[in-house]
Chain A
């Protein structure tokens, strides 16, 4: 079997899993649906490894294989096949996606126990993994867009999974519409590329592009900007980011899988994949870098004041993706993708831990009501802290190596990038702070009632309610099930979280500067034609950067320790003193309100204007009424004659006859 055959298998497994689960859901007992789905993803992961092995057997120059299954649509110069591309980048993404997805599937088997929509969940989850793999394996822009949209659809279905909750459905439609905006951006970009290069498949476009476009040619810049629009909509970067925090309405495994480890990284993948185009359009790459940095800082500031546990983690995702976007826009592809991988590990871990904590709290997500879980949930405490350490870039964790590598490359680029690099370090400080803000608020301090109950061995049960609005719900289909699960009592959850914790600690080993540049070398065949391929920071400057990052991280953790452990209550004083700043941050810089005023309200107004004025007055009144009015007016004289009076008709008859008679009399004489 060749590498591409394994590639098709990678796609076939989750698709088969989805079909099996969705068609047989009525007959599957208990948690079997979950196990079938997990097995499918395991099959996918194994196939990805086999594809990797096969590919590495080939010499470096040949490590880009394309295989076409059938013609998708071909007319005029539009030519798109269903074809996949196996190269280091796509195999890397497949491994990360399928590996982390498998662990999250196992976690979900436990988390979704007792939920009436158990099978539906796993069908959607498998569909999502299929879509994501299709996205990264696609060999042309059309199939990319198909995978892109499928991922968006899966995201919508999973966000609004508990569909009888109106907050969830609202979040779902918001995410979906923003995703479609990204789709449209990609369509326009694809057109611009087709129009000038005559190709739609990656290898063809990338080959023709340097021949057709000069550097910073306006068309290629616009094409890249539209690609960025697509990437930012998917990766929740400014200004298309407002859907991500709301997406936390979905079950926690969904947040772990989609909104941390995989879907949101699709934008990063896309920018890395299209690097030859961004090479030709430095302006667009610069825009990408600036927005990545801006998002990084923005999200970090908002995460400082959020009180919903999942939303803090969501904003941290947004921020970390900002790092990745900065990395790939600054042509540090290896570094950006390295961070993508490590982030997948520790972010999924954080979300899984959060799921466990929320289970202990019987569905409540508000950190204000949490505290002192350290003794009650030791496993969760350890894994969550490991995740937070990696997020904060604590020395020797995977996050430390990856994040600081990006910053080192950024600073190395020089010029304006130095500013971005410094902003990145600022963000790192904030990151360390808010990461441990979470840890200390949840695990340290006085134990809350739920924690005490758990210490006695008794899992808390509350009335089912919407965590955001407090509205009472029931536990029927379309709402969360009645059971709550904690990692301490659930071996699938432990099975999923433990490897991730280990990876979050040791994954850095593939990217130790100067010692093992394994990942960098692995990805080289894809990125070697980049203009910046040789533009590395020196090993010593990388270690200096790592040291700086370590100091910042420890400092941030220390400040968090001070605020939340040693001198509790100081944050409340700060909040009162800087009320305006706090509100601004708490309202996420008022982006939601801005979009509501600029897009949603005018659209609604246009709609009701159309409905009430144009439809009623103009079309029905003027066009229809007008036409009938004209006809009525024109024939009114004719109607006036039809009086219905017999005698009037008789009179007319006589007059007419007399007139005729007279006429004939006169004309004959």
Chain B
């Protein structure tokens, strides 16, 4: 059967529109049906994907704005296959768990639009189309955070939007410059990535263009020091939206590196390699150290995400096949782990009168063994315990880093040790020790279980058979970093110590 990517991209939006038109109460079912349909379609895509084929599959290539050289191009290859599946998979439990009485239809409409935008980002093969979807992602999240959050949500959403917008605008300027400057004499301007990869831009120009792209992507990830929007946003956003923000949105940035920056501007990327690796390693350490010093459970996961994204960025900029493979795998793994993590946090908060302070939690496991078991599995996966797919991702990242940047790899390894500290601390302080003052231990409810358990099952399955992902992403990932890798002169024969 032929698979049309446009259907995957716009199906959620259609579901959202239908839900908005239906009477109140039916919106969530429409939305749920839509997300499940998208997931089913994504699974078919996954099953049909040919891991030995070169280049993009299921390409959609239509003219959009010919005067500006912008085409409507969608395509799937090893790089974004699992991002599409992750997005489809993540939206289902979050839709299931979301339960808002006020303005329900509007909420689900924004959620639908968000899914469409994210899918568009991952599948776009034209630079301008990518940016359109990238900025489009911001709109529904602005409303979702600001309209249905708690606490200081206005300030949080303002900071979130401004941070992201500044980055995006810089990226827009850089992208336009790239499109214009890459046009050869007498040639036609084009923003299609395939065309841009063939064209060349002088190295000096590449450097600042790469830097501007990096600014936008580092804000999205987030990495230190552009993570200022994180505390307020993570504290005030509602749980299902936060899960999606942390699991899926954060990947849009690092994905952009692999899809756009490295293949199109290899000289520029290689120039900044050392700086980006330092930012990544520092984020790993900073995120990990702050993660075990937090009292609020959401903030622990927030800082842990900074550290994990640091690992992913490290893998990308190690400019090594194994590192890049590890990074792509971790993009999937981190997303898979964060969704149940936040949903579990929601379940925990519901059993502690809304409290999310570790001081006041504790001992919840004694009447909630299933909840504790799910949380344990997810915690072990987050800290990349060997046996989980996260471990394979991390070991590939570390091995890729060790090849040429051994010392940075050693420092990053400390992050692995710290990860075990903060995750076990989080698990123990909520589930074990004496029962906290506000806790009423109750087993997980059926709805949350239905949302969380399938994702946990996928995590376990991937831990048993990680090769499923690794063999499908290999070809495109290697191709993506090929040019930059050649420039960095990574010679595998050189002995790395003394």
Give the contacting residue for B387; candidates A149, A166, A196, A608; CB below 8 A. Answer: A149
CB of A469 to closest CB in B, whole Å = 13
Verify A169–B420 contact, CB threshold 8 A: no
- CB-CB nearest 3 A-B residue pairs: A607-B293, A149-B386, A163-B432
A71 and B467 form a contact (CB under 8 A): yes
Q: Please state if A619 and B227 are interface contacts (CB–CB under 8 Å).
A: yes
Indicate the size class of the contact surface on chain A. Answer: 35 or more
**B202-225, CB under 8 A of A: which get 1 and which 0?**
000000000000000000000001
Please tell me if A120 contacts chain B, counting CB pairs below 8 Å: yes
Chain A residues 603-641 with CB under 8 Å of chain B are 603-604, 606-608, 610-611, 614-615, 618-620, 623-624
B228 pairs with A478, CB closer than 8 A = no
Q: What is the CB-to-nearest-CB distance from A609 to chain B, in angstroms, rounded to a whole number?
A: 9
CB neighbours of B431 from chain A (8 A): 163
Q: How many Å lie between the Cα of A188 and that of B496 in the bound state?
A: 12
Is the pair B289, A70 in contact by a Cβ cutoff of 8 Å? no
Tell me, yes or no, whether A146 is within 8 Å of chain B by CB: yes
A618 / chain B contacts, CB cutoff of 8 Å: 225
Select the stretch in A50-58, A178-186, A513-521, A661-669 that faces chain B.
A178-186
**A619 and B417 form a contact (CB under 8 A):** no
**Residue interface bits A391-411, CB-to-B below 8 A is 1, else 0:** 000000000000000000000
Of A72, A120, A163, A604, the residue contacting B467 (CB under 8 A) is A72
Known contacts being A149-B387, A177-B421, is A615 close to B428, with CB within 8 Å? Answer: no
Q: How many residues of B contact A (CB 8 A)?
A: 63
A317 at interface (Cβ–Cβ under 8 A)? no
Q: B474 at interface (Cβ–Cβ under 8 A)?
A: yes
**Nearest chain B CB to A215 CB, angstrom units:** 16
- Cβ-defined contact, B470 with A75, below 8 A: yes
25 contacts between A and B (CB under 8 A): A72-B466, A75-B321, A76-B322, A76-B478, A77-B322, A78-B396, A78-B399, A146-B387, A149-B385, A160-B428, A164-B363, A173-B425, A177-B424, A180-B383, A184-B417, A187-B395, A187-B413, A187-B416, A477-B366, A477-B367, A478-B366, A608-B293, A610-B289, A611-B290, A623-B225
* B-binding residues in A (CB < 8 A): 22, 70-78, 120, 142, 145-146, 148-150, 153, 156-157, 160, 163-164, 166, 169, 172-173, 176-177, 180-181, 183-184, 187-188, 190-192, 194-196, 218-219, 222, 476-478, 603-604, 606-608, 610-611, 614-615, 618-620, 623-624
- Indicate if B325 sits at the interface (CB-CB under 8 A): yes
Within 8 A of A (CB), among B383-440: 383, 385-387, 391-392, 395-396, 398-399, 402-403, 410, 413, 416-418, 420-421, 424-425, 428, 431-435
* With A163-B432, A166-B434 as contacts: A73 and B470 at CB distance below 8 Å: yes
Assuming the contacts A72-B466, A169-B433, asked whether A184 and B413 have C-beta atoms less than 8 A apart, the reply is yes
B320 neighbours in A (Cβ, 8 Å): 76
The prevalent SS among residues of B at the interface is helix
Q: List residues of chain A with CB within 8 A of the CB of B290.
A: 607, 610-611, 615
Min CB gap A417→B, angstroms? 28
Cα–Cα distance between A190 and B391 once the two chains are bound (Å)? 14
Distance between A23 CB and nearest chain B CB, rounded to angstroms: 11
Q: Given A163-B433, A195-B402, A195-B496, is A611 in contact with B386 using a C-beta cutoff of 8 Å? A: no
Given the known interface contacts A75-B321, A164-B432, A623-B225, the answer about A150 and B386 at a Cβ–Cβ threshold of 8 Å is: yes
Complex: how many Å from CA A180 to CA B366? 27
* Residue B292 at the chain A interface, CB threshold 8 Å: yes
User: Is B433 in contact with A164, judged by CB distance below 8 angstroms?
Assistant: yes
Known: A177-B424, A619-B227. A191 touches B398 (CB 8 A): yes
Residues on B with beta carbons closer than 8 Å to the beta carbon of A164: 363, 366, 432-435
Q: A604–B391 contact, CB under 8 A? A: no
Can you name the residue of chain A whose Cβ is closest to the Cβ of B166?
Answer: A627
> How far apart sit A70 and B461, CA to CA, in the bound complex (Å)?
14
Task: Let me know if A173 and B424 touch, CB within 8 A.
Answer: yes
B residues near A195, Cβ cutoff 8 Å: 402-403, 492, 495-496
Partner of A194, one of B286, B387, B399: B399
A173 in contact with B498 given A164-B366, A615-B231 (CB within 8 Å)? no
Report B-chain residues with C-beta under 8 Å of the C-beta of A606: 289
Contact with A along B455-491 (1 / 0, CB 8 A): 0000000000111001100100010000000000000
In the complex the two chains form, is A75's CB within 8 Å of B294's CB? no
Can you name the residue of chain B whose Cβ is closest to the Cβ of A186? B386
Complex CA gap A176/B383 in Å reads 12
